[in-house]
Amino acid sequence: MSAYRDEDPRIHDIKTRIRVVPNFPKPGIMFQDITTLLLNPKAFKDTIDLFVERYKGKNISVVAGIEARGFIFGPPIALAIGAKFVPLRKPRKLPGEVISEKYILEYGRDCLEMHVGAVKSGERALVVDDLIATGGTLCAAMNLLGKPVSC
Ligand SMILES: O=P(O)(O)OC[C@H]1O[C@H](OP(=O)(O)OP(=O)(O)O)[C@H](O)[C@@H]1O
Ligand SMILES: Nc1ncnc2[nH]cnc12
């Protein structure tokens, strides 16, 4: 049964397909494993469709996917809403000139990078990832997209 009276029934099924692995990768972390969701084509498609239904026609020209799991969900959403896909990558993966943003994770520190020129001033962007824990990664992504670039 759905937790919320008006919840889309697809959401309940999607929730049941995400495996929760206690104490991975460290004691105390309840790891939300989306690889089990990807094994079911209907649940995977429903996940993409829910985002497409929410964001299509909202004048979004950029879908920014966060490495690594935002690279699974971001591209199909970008194609369906007619936006470009911009990868936000971990350090030293992008070959061109980059801008960077450091952040703190639930279990460590990291940094995101984006190619200079991938997003133009004034564009409307949707950031896609699999999950928010502390919100640090999402904040870093938003800071990166909002950074002024002088070139
Ligand atoms: O809200 P936060 O506390 O910032 O955590 C959420 C982030 O953590 C995970 O990625 P992770 O950094 O483990 O990288 P990975 O996808 O490359 O394994 C997840 O995919 C999010 O990007
Ligand atoms: N609890 C969690 N499950 C999956 N990925 C994560 N990244 C950070 N925290 C996580």
Q: Is the pLDDT of residue 151 over 50?
A: no
Q: Which of 24, 31, 35, 137 to mutate to test the pocket of ligand 2 (most atoms within 8 A of CB)?
A: 31
Residue nearest to atom 15 of ligand 1 (CA): 68
pLDDT more than 70, % of the chain: 93
Name residue 127's beta-bridge partners.
Answer: 64
Q: What is the pTM of this model?
A: 0.94
DSSP character string of 79-98: HHHT-EEEEEB-TT---S-E
Q: Is 5 marked active-site?
A: no
Q: Taking a C-beta distance cutoff of 8 angstroms, is the pair 44, 73 a contact? A: no
Q: Taking a C-beta distance cutoff of 8 angstroms, is the pair 115, 65 a contact? A: no
d(CA 53, CA 65): 18
pLDDT more than 90, % of the chain: 86
Identify the nearest ligand to the CA of 26 by its number: 2
Position 5 scores a pLDDT of 64
Comparing C-alpha atoms, which of 144, 148, 137 is closest to residue 66?
Answer: 137
d(CA 131, CA 9): 20
**Per residue in 25-81, pLDDT tens?**
999 999 999 999 999 999 999 999 999 999 999 999 999 999 999 999 999 999 999
Average pLDDT across the chain, whole number: 94
Q: Is 101 marked active-site?
A: no
ipTM > 0.90 for the complex: yes
| Ligand 1 pocket by Cβ (under 6 Å) | 66-69, 105-106, 110, 129-138
| Set 17, 106, 109, 113: catalytic member | 106
Identify the nearest ligand to the CA of 74 by its number: 1
Query: Phi and psi (nearest 5°) for 14?
Result: -60, -45
